[in-house]
Structure 1
Amino acid sequence: MPRRKRLVKERLCNLLKYNHTQAEPLTSSSDEPFKNFISINEPPDEDASVSSASHGSVEMLPVDDIQPLELEDFAQKMRTYFMKWSMKMRREKEEGKRAQNYTGKAARTIRHHKQRGKEAAKKNGSTLDNFFLHKQKKAPPERTPTLVNTETSTLAATEVVALEDSSIGWNSNTNEVHINVDPVAIGGELLSNDAESIEEEPEEVLMQAVINSEHQSSSFRDSEATTNDSPDNHVPEVAQHQSPTVLHPNDAEGEDPDDIHQDLWKDHQLMVSVEKRLTQAEREHHNKMEKLLGARLVAMKSLIHFYTSEDYQLTWRQASMMAATGAGKGTWFARRLRQWIMAYIRGNFTYDSLPHTRYGMFKTSLLDDEDLSQRIQQHLQALDRNFKAQDVVDFVTSPAMQGCLGVHRQKIGLRTARRWLKRTHRYGLPEKGMYIDGHERNDVVNYRQLFLQRMEERARRMPIFNTAVGDMSVVMPQLQNGEKLLILVTHDESTFYENDRKHQRWIPLDATAVPQPKGEGVSVMVSDFLSPICGRLKDEISEARIFFHCGKNGDGYFDNDDILKQTNEAIKLFERIYPTAQALFMFDNATTHQKRATDSLSALHMPKSCKIWRPGQPLMRDAILPNGAPQPLYWPVTHQEFPGHFKGMEQILKERGLWRSGLKAQCTTRFADCEDRTNCCCRRILYNQPDFVNQKSSLEELVESKGHLCDFYPKFHCELNFIEQYWGASKFRYRQAPPTDSLAEMEQTMRDCLDDVPLVQIQRYWNRSLRFMDAYRRGLTGKQAIWANKRYHGHRVLPESILEELCEKEIGP
């Protein structure tokens, strides 16, 4: 006996024992207990005595008395148990099928069924089509419930109550029960007599039988009621048992509704071409194809292979059922396979017509509407720049917006608003850009244009640096007779702080809090000169860089005297390195750099009348008259009335021929109040004189006295001084360095970081400054110059079409 059948038999017997032990025992007129038996169909045994009416041997199981009504519940419980057990076995079988390859499993199934069909054809004379997949079961012969006594081995012709499907009978006189277990009614061929010769069929037959058994259970109630209402105690006729009707998958009479109006599947050549196209699509889109779509393509190709192969000779529906079985699926999946292939043909074999999955395709949000999104953007622009995601939620839920949504009023959550804002915004600190405080002020713009003109004239004698990858070279200028090579040397200061370190890093999960230093710590200022041709200004003996400890406990504050001293040393160093070249020293337009000498010309504090002025301070140098002659501002010491006295503004104007009666020393208390005038008062007239206007700073006088050039960058234009980017690269390296414990270690770390910036990077910074100069020379504003610099970051100058591109991009001032 097969193991599964033996297991079914044991479980059935246990179920019967369990059910009748739960029932209340009954007693008859005699004191002796009745010997009741339950018979189960079993292959004939040699030692068993059976009745001629029985079609199998009988296994006798003693039970207690059972009433007819209790027998009905008992039969229903037995039937429910077998349905549940069959469902469990089917699920286990399907899980095993899914773990196998689709095509291999289907091929093995076909070979297995073909072999079984041949054996059945030889034995029963049936054909392969009648046996393939699910053979239609014939109705078993009419069975009459019988009572069997093991002692007499005779049938008792007594009253028998017919139960559902003629499977259970009860003798009211002897209280004996006979059960004929029909294999189809309780779950397929698991208990059939001929199961020894034919292995178990696919689980679809089993499940269909269980379902049909449920539908047939309604007839039992009617037959039971008829039996109980019978006035005579006779044996009623038992209805003939009919096996459940299972729809044959190979039945080609009825196709799916989608296949009725089209006969594309009948064209075998077309199906073969579809299989080739599916294989080609699988190869071309292998990288982006989802796994479930790949599994569906394998099942679709298996269907076409089974249908078009001459070895199988299957119908369209048979092939689909075979492919679905190989994929571990059922009838629904087979129908879907046929629909997918038809849709692929109607879609002209495109990739989009394949059965793609919808996993990950979420519903569209209310905020995906373009009109609503635009209105929200306009609302956020009208708010302060520090808006929140809650502002979006409040705007959507406002009565005005709800009225626009109409009957489909919807609300959004705070999380949805945040996700929507992340599409066009980011939450965090804004990126630092160029400083624009006063960048486009009139006086600054005017000075910038003059500065650019001077730089354009000097660029003819300056070298050009190519910093492109693979073309890193220096192009020297073509000098005329008597001209010297002009080398740019820029200056600036920057401050490093002791505790300025990177704070974000990978931290172990078990790390504990560590005390941190408070504040920025000690600061060290570095002042240096930088050149695009040599980098830092240094030689083997010395360098122009100095470190300055600011503060009252340090070196004080970096003032004009310190910059003059450092510049003087830088000039000497430059002359040692480039003795035949001329330097162009560039400085920021800061008050420390613009400070004039103590004896320079200045009308800001001059008295109007003759008096002793600034005692103990150096005397002011002589002015220059319009004709070029010097003009002393003090009376000689031998003067009889005012020896060594300051002449005063009135006398100076008289000597220049600019005095008129009634002039005041100054119009108002504040000298800036008459800034737009030229001859309103004595101080304003002298202030606008050429020799006073052209008074140079002490830094310019020092540099020019050595035979070099000196100039100042425009105010608020740090992008023109390329050393600013050098500081940024150095501080980036400094923040990555480990913390230091002493001032000496801090200075050494600063030196290492400053020396680590390569020369080619410095040259690229200089080319970037040249692009900004070219942009301002063309009339671009700061905002436009930033865009143009990013757009053409690999050039020294901007193209001629830059203005047209700005108009196309709608980038205004």
Structure 2
Amino acid sequence: MSSTKGNWTRSSIQVFSQSSKSRYGPSRVLRERAKKFVFTRELPENPFGKWTKSRLQPDTEFANDIKTHLLSCGKYIAAKDIVNYLNDPEVQRTHGLKKSISAATSKRWMHKLGYRFVRNHRGQYVDGHERDDVVCYRQSIFLPKWYSFEERMRAYGNESSDESIPHNPSQRPVVVWFHDESIFYAHDRRKSRWVAQDESPTPYAKGEGHSLMVADFVSADYGWLRSKDGKRSARVIFRPGKNRDGYFDNDDIIKQAEVAIEILKTDYPDEDHVFVYDNATTHMKRPPEAPSAKKMPKNTPKDMLHNWGVEVTSKDSNGRTIFRPDGKPWKERVPMGPGKFKDGTSQSFYFPVGHPKAGLFKGMAEILKERGYGDWSKVRYECKGFHCDPALKGDCCCRQKLFNEPDFTNGKSYLELACEKAGFQVLFLPKFHCELNFIEQCWGRAKWHYRLLPESSKEEDLERNMIQSLEMIEIEEIRRFARRSRRFMDGYHKGLDGKAAAWASKKYRGHRVLPDTILQMYNDENHG
């Protein structure tokens, strides 16, 4: 017989007698719960697994801030970097945290954010974010054009109602519309969920299922581009694929821009509008006769039979492509359009009438000689694979020399020509700079909503769910995404590189502009 029988206090203390911690607190809780069971016959609920709810949800601002921080940590990141980031008092205050997370939780979050731990991960993709030509375009072309109209744009604070008028009220306000395309897949669903103990595995559809591509414009002022009555929209829904709608090409891009222009001219005539596109070849396609050194011969052809010209697809009077009997498009050769000397006067690339070689293509060596660069007849046509030595600054081969000429690099695309004809400006983003196009975050947010909707393999359900997900994005979220992109632009404008701009955007989250001393602050904190 137990020595403590009949004595609840001594019995409960004996239960915890081998515990290294205090016996009296746990024994008191045991007595209280035992008495409650005697009188109510109810067992206490096991709270295991219910203490906390994960704050990390994909495609939220909290998750995006952590991703931005990991980007700024360099190539060799660790789960501990998340712990250190959440230890920052300002980060805790921003996101309403009382403390950081454990190392085990940080590892689970790394998986949620799409990271996996591998040995010496190598792939084909090389980020050219800080490549010399990309940085040159960003700093010398994109940012000056952006800041030429930035002061006429409306600015939004932390709340959608916090609107500031343009700095110069006497000028027409500017609305900037960011364009992009994204693909939604029918079987893009959540990968993990809690299941009941007696639930059996269910068959699932193999592959990604049907796909739909959506192309649209978005602005911080109005959200998605549509008429004021909501009946017309510039959105294009496309079924990509060889046996479906084909592929979204330059002609489709221009048609969509024309629809957008018509809506804006009709419903928003009191504002100037700028279209911003990414630096894709589909968007930047130029007229075939525009100056290009890509296939130019170095020397003059020997006769008209072998004369050089640009190959273009033949079209009939209605603009439809003419096909050969074998089903391939019929090609014809047309002369390349003229270039421009540095003083702006025209330079024909073909010898004029009256010249012994009238009508023949001059060749790159002769074109360079006419531009005042001397004799290039003994300089090679191009470097092997067109991989030129940057130290030679374009003086290594004929092709590179012409490639760097202003009239060759600054030729306008079909899209620019079409929009400028209607009075609209087009601006192309630098390559590898998706952080500057805040519509990317809109796509991510829409796909987060999409994955929560009922699953279906039907194409009509895919389209309905996709449209519903896009409409679930609030204007406050869009403006928050826009502020983030403008912080990056301001960082680059103030001399920061990609890593430093990511650090600054995270540090001054919620701000539209960064302090003028941000570069010095970054150097002091990171190289101190």
TM-score by length of 2: 0.69
Q: What is the CA–CA distance in structure 2 between the aligned matches of 1:513 and 1:787, rounded to whole Å? A: 44
CA distance in 2, matches of 1:96, 1:432: 53
Matched, 1:453 2:144: yes
Number of the residue aligned with 2:344? 628
Q: CA deviation at 1:518?
A: 0.7
Could you say which residue in structure 2 is the equivalent of 1:527? Answer: 215
In 2, distance between residues paired with 1:698 and 1:606?
A: 21
Cα distance change on mapping 1:648 and 1:293 into 2, 3 Å: closer
Offset of residue 97 of structure 1: 9.4
Q: Does 1:707 align with 2:433?
A: no
Residues in 2 aligned to 1:512 and 1:782: alpha-carbon distance in whole angstroms:
48
Superposition deviation, residue 668 in structure 1: 4.2
- 2:387 is aligned to 672
User: Using a 3 Å threshold, how does the CA distance of structure 1 residues 385 and 729 change in structure 2: closer, same or farther?
Assistant: closer
SS of 1:811's equivalent?
helix
Q: Distance in 1 between matches of 2:231 and 2:367?
A: 51
Return the letter of the residue paired with 1:548. F
Structure 1: how far apart are the matches of 2:10 and 2:365? 114
Q: Which residue of 2 aligns with 1:780?
A: 496
Q: Note if contact 1:492-1:723 (Cα within 8 Å) is conserved in structure 2.
A: yes
- In the alignment, the residues of structure 2 paired with residue 680 and residue 598 of structure 1 have an alpha-carbon distance, to the nearest angstrom, of 26
Aligned to 1:292: 24
Tell me if the contact between 2:453 and 2:465 (Cα under 8 Å) persists in the aligned partners. Answer: yes
* 1:486 and 2:169 correspond: no
**Which amino acid in the other structure matches residue 466 of structure 1?**
G
Contact residue 734 and residue 753 of structure 1 kept, 8 A: yes
CA contact (8 A) 1:784 1:811 kept: no
Q: Percent identity?
A: 39
State the Cα distance separating 1:786 from its structure 2 match: 2.5
Match of 2:163 in 1: 474
Residue 690 in structure 1 maps to residue 413 in structure 2: no
Could you tell me how far apart the structure 2 residues matched to 1:295 and 1:693 are?
Answer: 81
Amino acid corresponding to residue 505 of structure 2 in structure 1: N
Distance 2:351 2:169 in 1: 49
Cα shift readout 1:493-534 (whole Å, capped 9, x = no counterpart): 111111001132332322222111111112211111111111
**Structure having greater relative contact order (Cα 8 Å, sep ≥ 6):** 2
SS in 2 for 1:600: coil
Match of 1:453, as an amino acid?
P
* Stretches of structure 2 lacking an aligned partner (at least 5 in a row): 13-21, 29-75, 80-101, 116-124, 312-331
Which of 267, 275, 287 is matched with 1:577 structurally? 267
Look up the match of 1:500: 188
1:319-718 map, 5 Å = 422=104, 429=111, 431=113, 437-450=127-140, 451-468=142-159, 472-479=161-168, 483-539=171-227, 540-607=230-297, 608-610=299-301, 611=304, 612-614=307-309, 616-635=332-351, 644-660=359-375, 662-664=377-379, 666-673=381-388, 676-718=392-434
Aligned to 1:10: none
> What is the alpha-carbon distance in structure 1 between the residues aligned to residue 496 and residue 378 of structure 2?
44
Aligned pairs for 1:148-159 (under 5 A) are none
Letter in 1 for 2:168: L
Q: Write the letter of the residue equivalent to 1:533.
A: D
CA contact (8 A) 1:663 1:681 kept: no
- Kindly provide the amino acid, as one letter, of the partner of residue 403 in structure 2: Y
Secondary structure at the counterpart of residue 196 of structure 2: coil
Specify whether residues 706 and 665 from structure 1 end up closer, same or farther in structure 2 by C-alpha distance, changes over 3 A only. farther
Amino acid at match of 2:185: Y
CA distance, structure 1, for counterparts of residue 289 and residue 239 of structure 2: 30
Change in CA separation of 1:762 and 1:812 when aligned onto 2, cut-off 3 Å: farther
* Pair 566,467 (structure 1): closer, same or farther in 2 beyond 3 Å: same
Structure 1 residue 739, shift from structure 2 partner = 1.3
Q: Deviations over 1:626-654 (max 9, x none)?
A: 33322233356x66865644333344345
TM-score, reference length from structure 1: 0.46
Separation in 2, partners of 1:477, 1:766:
17
Q: Which amino acid aligns with 1:613?
A: W
Q: CA deviation at 1:705?
A: 2.3
Where does structure 1 lack aligned partners over 5 or more consecutive residues? 1-86, 100-289, 297-383, 388-419
Using the TM superposition, name which of 683-692 and 555-564 deviates more.
683-692
Alpha carbons 1:595, 1:698 under 8 Å: kept: yes
SS of residue paired to 1:692:
helix
Q: Shift of the alpha carbon at 1:807?
A: 5.3
CA contact (8 A) 1:464 1:474 kept: yes
Partner amino acid, structure 1, of 2:273: A
Q: Which residue of 2 aligns with 1:18?
A: none
Q: 1:442 to 1:680 in 2, by over 3 A?
A: closer
Q: How does 1:155-170 map to 2 (within 5 A)?
A: none
Residue identity in the other structure for 1:715: K
Whether 1:796 and 2:512 are equivalent positions in the alignment is yes
Q: Secondary structure at the match of 1:596?
A: coil
The amino acid that maps onto 1:791 is K
1:533/1:658 CA distance change after superposition, 3 Å: same
What is the RMSD of the two structures over their aligned residues, measured on CA atoms?
3.5
Secondary structure of 2:172's counterpart equals: coil
| Aligned equivalents of 2:276, 2:201: Cα separation in 1 | 48
- Whole-angstrom CA distance in 2 between matches of 1:640 and 1:781: 53
Residues 488 and 584 of structure 1 are in contact (CA less than 8 Å); yes or no, is this contact kept in structure 2? yes
| Secondary structure of the corresponding residue to residue 273 of structure 2 | strand
Aligned position for 2:479: 763
- Structure 1 residue 295: deviation in Å? 9.5
Q: Which structure has greater helix proportion?
A: 1
Deviations 1:230-263 (A, max 9, x none): xxxxxxxxxxxxxxxxxxxxxxxxxxxxxxxxxx
Aligned in 2, Cα 1:505/1:295: closer, same or farther, shift over 3 Å?
closer
Aligned pair count?
Answer: 412
CA contact (8 A) 2:495 2:519 kept: no
Change (3 A) 1:567 1:695: same
Q: How does 1:258-273 map to 2 (within 5 A)?
A: none
C-alpha spacing 1:565/1:424, structure 2 compared with 1 (3 Å): closer
Give CA-to-partner distance per residue, 1:110-165, whole Å, 9 cap, x none.
xxxxxxxxxxxxxxxxxxxxxxxxxxxxxxxxxxxxxxxxxxxxxxxxxxxxxxxx
Aligned counterparts of 1:661 and 1:789: Cα–Cα separation in 2? 48
Alpha-carbon distance between aligned partners in 2 of 1:460 and 1:96, rounded to the nearest angstrom: 77
